[in-house]
Structure 1
Amino acid sequence: MNPQFLFYIIIAILVIDFAIDKIISYLNAKHFDDKIPNELTDVYNEKEYLKSQAYKKENYRFSLLKSGFTMILTLFFFILEGFAWVDNFSRSYSSNEITVALIFFGIIMIGSEILSIPFTYYHTFVIEEKYGFNKTSKRLFITDKLKGLLLSATIGGGVLAIIIWFYQMTGDDFWVYTWMFIGAFTIFITMFYSSLIVPLFNKQSPLEEGELKDAIFAFSKKTGFTLNNIYVIDGSKRSTKANAYFSGFGAKKRIVLYDTLINDLNTDEIVAVLAHEIGHYKKKHVLINMVLSLLVTGITLYIFSLLINNALLSSALSVDIPSFHIGLITFGILYSPISEITGIFMNMISRKFEYQADDFAKNQFNGSSLVSSLKKLSKNSLSNLTPHKASVFIHYSHPTLLQRVRNLTA
């Protein structure tokens, strides 16, 4: 195989992936005006449903514009040998491969962020504002972007530097050390995400004493779920949309509630949501997902190690000097069809786990409270009640609201 043919394969993968995604989006959009299923008629009144349809259609049109613009720029970047230019520019500042890779990905990351800012700004301050979701100030928008870039450069750059160092020290066996490092790093982030990363963007406060806290602790005690930390996060400073999540494990596990969730739901509904999250923990879903994710990562790294020394990976992008970072980009694109398949498989498992967590909440607490909470959350976020089956199969990590309601009321 010559570099030119491999380049055509890369372009074909990019175009086909884009086309499939747009076809699925189109099929999904064709169902925006479907009649609401009988089980969900109490989610929206007529005015609210019209508003949700308008919101979905506007987001769909915006997504087409953004993805189309991004695709055109990406193709031009490949055709005009943009990676070779950035690589040469990076090498003009250093001959150290780790430094070159950091400069290379730094330029790519900053350039991508600059191009995406107008779209992100429009979506936040025009679309989200129009439908009453946005609470982000322009100052907060800017500081979030700067913090995100700094965090990506610090953590992402550090991880990349360590992986390339493994490659330089161990050659083809780098994948084993990288796999172990990513495993350790994943466990560390899972345990300390809420205490180290979240405070950079949000304020977390212990849940105040009262009915809600008493109800949560009573349920956790009933189910044998040791709980020391319940925190409230100030999500309302960015959006009216509500959420709750469970993080960490062992002594570091904690439940985090968005202040918007507390405002939108009553006590039983909040406990039902948390019962669902506790169900994930009791069913060991967090551990299973971590093991599966690390298994997929290990397989991917092993396949990458078999190809990384092939100069064809760099030549396909018109780069004269073979390197780890160029090989990583080429391999990432060539491997993307397999990644899509593994992603679909992981989503199938995730949807199964969601049903199991729903059943746990239904059996251990109250199924009707979970149903009403899911309906309120869907209503308040103007979510799509009638997605196309193909979109659900490929993209959804959770069952649809209709599927969850039917399961909970069965």
Structure 2
Amino acid sequence: MKKIIKWSVISYILFGLFIAWYLFYGANTDIPTNLKGSAADPETFMNDQQLLLSEEYSQIKNLLYFLSIPFEWLIYIVVLVVGLSAKFREWSKATSKFSILQTAIYLFWLSLIVEVLSFPFQWVSYSVSKKYNITVQTTSSWMKDNMIDFWVNYAMMIIIIAVVFWLIRKSTKRWWFYAWLLSVPFSFFLMFVQPVLIDPLYNDFYPLTNKELETKILALADKADIPADHVYEVNMSAKTNSLNAYVTGVGSNSRIVLWDTTLNRLSENEILFIMAHEMGHYVMKHIYIGIAGYLVLTLIGLYIINKLMQVMVKKWGKVFKVSSIQDIAVLPLFLLLISMLSFASDPISNAVSRHQEKDADLYALEMTNDKEAAVSSFQELSRAGLSQVNPPYLVKLFRYGHPTMLERLTYTNEYEQE
């Protein structure tokens, strides 16, 4: 037990030191010489203070990201090894004789301890964003969103974990395949209800007040054969200075959404370019390709998790105080493996996403034929979010689902419509 904890902590510290060195000293974020003075050079659209702040802010946020994920792994390891998971199991069994209630009670204690121990990272991240004027959300509002997050995730996890462990107990060998089969309709269901049930818990959505702009956006949607009757506006200015727009949902619940910060800071042509980009995702069916890719990775991941759990429980079951994978106390190991495999697969999923985002950019350029609006919108996105134009390579691999601003500005500037 002591060895596992000791080496886990040592590994975490060494990883943290490496990441800190890499982000602050080892990574090269300079603009290539041949792009100096071009539209992709941040010195042409950021002042000295913005350049300094974007570098500092990005470094700190990236460090927090790379430290927070393995810290969650460390929590799961400690919860298993010191016997807390077994204690939660005993408390749940002593409280109720019904399996679903036992799962809910166990999951509450596990979720609570993970939330409490992870809270310092969340607080520092919020404080940094507020210091650099990216976040303008009040502390009470931020705490409210955190509480909503906790309870929404907890409610969904009760259903998911109850079903998964019921399948494990019914079919120890093939549970992973049956769980994957059930994840297919569940994923589509979540995408269908998110715009109308989940998103409104955090923000207020209402029809776009600028009807002239809405008419132009809907004309673009009609040109792209997108069945949309309304464009929605969301009041994000109470929380952030960042910009965003998106198309969400599936089927009859699909909707076009604009952050009010985007409406306030971008020109009409820039907004139309951004919306054409989002419509490109719809037209090229990126959302369905993304779901298909997610389901393939989920199938492979569940198969690997099943194999690893069997081996690890057999080898370290006594240390974990877990008798078999049917024991709910093995859940921290299950979540640990999910998180680790998800992190390991991020470079693949991000690479696919970056390819799709580039296609959507090119689609928007073709649709609007407005290269100047594209360039200026990307530059404003960089300024508003204080994002690095040329981030470190590891950051791009693990964090960037979009091409870097250097890449987007470069291929946009070089774009020529056939």
Length-normalised TM-score, structure 2? 0.84
Asked whether the equivalents of residues 80 and 86 of structure 2 are also in contact (C-alpha less than 8 Å), the reply is no
User: What letter matches 2:25 in structure 1?
Assistant: K
Deviation of the 1:60 alpha carbon? 5.7
Residue 379 of structure 2 corresponds to which residue in structure 1? 375
Asked whether the equivalents of residues 246 and 277 of structure 1 are also in contact (C-alpha less than 8 Å), the reply is yes
Q: Distance in 2 between matches of 1:281 and 1:227?
A: 11
Q: Distance in 2 between matches of 1:334 and 1:75?
A: 11
1:322-379 Cα deviation digits (max 9, x unpaired):
3343444325545766544432211111111111111111111123312211110110
Residue 399 of structure 1 corresponds to which residue in structure 2? 403
1:349 counterpart = 2:330: no
Residue 199 of structure 1 corresponds to which residue in structure 2? 200
User: What letter matches 1:263 in structure 2?
Assistant: N
Once the two structures are overlaid, the 10-residue window that deviates more, 93-102 or 338-347, is 93-102
Taking the TM superposition and a 5 Å limit, the aligned residue runs for 1:290-305 are 290-305=291-306
Q: Distance in 2 between matches of 1:152 and 1:62?
A: 22
Q: Distance in 1 between matches of 2:214 and 2:83?
A: 58
Q: Distance in 1 between matches of 2:332 and 2:136?
A: 37
Matched residue count? 404
Asked whether the equivalents of residues 234 and 259 of structure 2 are also in contact (C-alpha less than 8 Å), the reply is yes
Q: Aligned to 2:22, which of 23, 27, 30? A: 27
Residue 230 of structure 1 corresponds to which residue in structure 2? 231
Residue 276 of structure 1 corresponds to which residue in structure 2? 277
Once the two structures are overlaid, the 10-residue window that deviates more, 349-358 or 202-211, is 202-211
Q: Aligned to 2:91, which of 65, 89, 96? A: 89
Deviation of the 1:69 alpha carbon? 7.2
Deviation of the 1:133 alpha carbon? 2.7
1:172-218 Cα deviation digits (max 9, x unpaired):
33333322221111111112211110111110001124331122112
Residue 80 of structure 1 corresponds to which residue in structure 2? 82
Q: Distance in 1 between matches of 2:222 and 2:297?
A: 36
Once the two structures are overlaid, the 10-residue window that deviates more, 369-378 or 258-267, is 369-378
Asked whether the equivalents of residues 361 and 367 of structure 1 are also in contact (C-alpha less than 8 Å), the reply is no
SS in 1 for 2:151: helix
Residue 134 of structure 2 corresponds to which residue in structure 1? 133
Q: Distance in 2 between matches of 1:258 and 1:147?
A: 20
Taking the TM superposition and a 5 Å limit, the aligned residue runs for 1:243-262 are 243-262=244-263
Q: Distance in 1 between matches of 2:49 and 2:307?
A: 58
Residue 387 of structure 1 corresponds to which residue in structure 2? 391
Q: Distance in 2 between matches of 1:68 and 1:173?
A: 29
Asked whether the equivalents of residues 230 and 255 of structure 2 are also in contact (C-alpha less than 8 Å), the reply is yes
User: What letter matches 2:182 in structure 1?
Assistant: F
Structure 1 residues 314, 87: closer, same or farther in 2, change over 3 A? farther
Residue 190 of structure 2 corresponds to which residue in structure 1? 189
Asked whether the equivalents of residues 32 and 386 of structure 1 are also in contact (C-alpha less than 8 Å), the reply is no
Structure 1 residues 321, 78: closer, same or farther in 2, change over 3 A? closer
Residue 123 of structure 2 corresponds to which residue in structure 1? 121
SS in 1 for 2:173: helix
Deviation of the 1:153 alpha carbon? 2.0
Taking the TM superposition and a 5 Å limit, the aligned residue runs for 1:267-346 are 267-306=268-307, 311-312=313-314, 315=317, 317-322=319-324, 323-333=326-336, 338-346=341-349
1:248-299 Cα deviation digits (max 9, x unpaired):
2332211111111111111111111111111111112111110111111122
Q: Distance in 1 between matches of 2:275 and 2:12?
A: 37
Asked whether the equivalents of residues 308 and 328 of structure 1 are also in contact (C-alpha less than 8 Å), the reply is no
Residue 112 of structure 1 corresponds to which residue in structure 2? 114
Q: Distance in 2 between matches of 1:396 and 1:71?
A: 22
SS in 2 for 1:224: coil
Q: Distance in 2 between matches of 1:339 and 1:65?
A: 16
RMSD: 3.2
Once the two structures are overlaid, the 10-residue window that deviates more, 216-225 or 162-171, is 162-171
1:359 counterpart = 2:362: yes
Structure 1 residues 191, 14: closer, same or farther in 2, change over 3 A? farther
Q: Distance in 1 between matches of 2:349 and 2:252?
A: 28
Once the two structures are overlaid, the 10-residue window that deviates more, 212-221 or 305-314, is 305-314
1:37-90 Cα deviation digits (max 9, x unpaired):
532233311122123233335546766886797677666545533333333333
Asked whether the equivalents of residues 29 and 60 of structure 1 are also in contact (C-alpha less than 8 Å), the reply is no
SS in 1 for 2:225: coil
Q: Distance in 2 between matches of 1:308 and 1:61?
A: 30
SS in 1 for 2:44: coil
Structure 1 residues 324, 237: closer, same or farther in 2, change over 3 A? farther
User: What letter matches 2:281 in structure 1?
Assistant: H
Deviation of the 1:219 alpha carbon? 1.4
Deviation of the 1:320 alpha carbon? 4.3
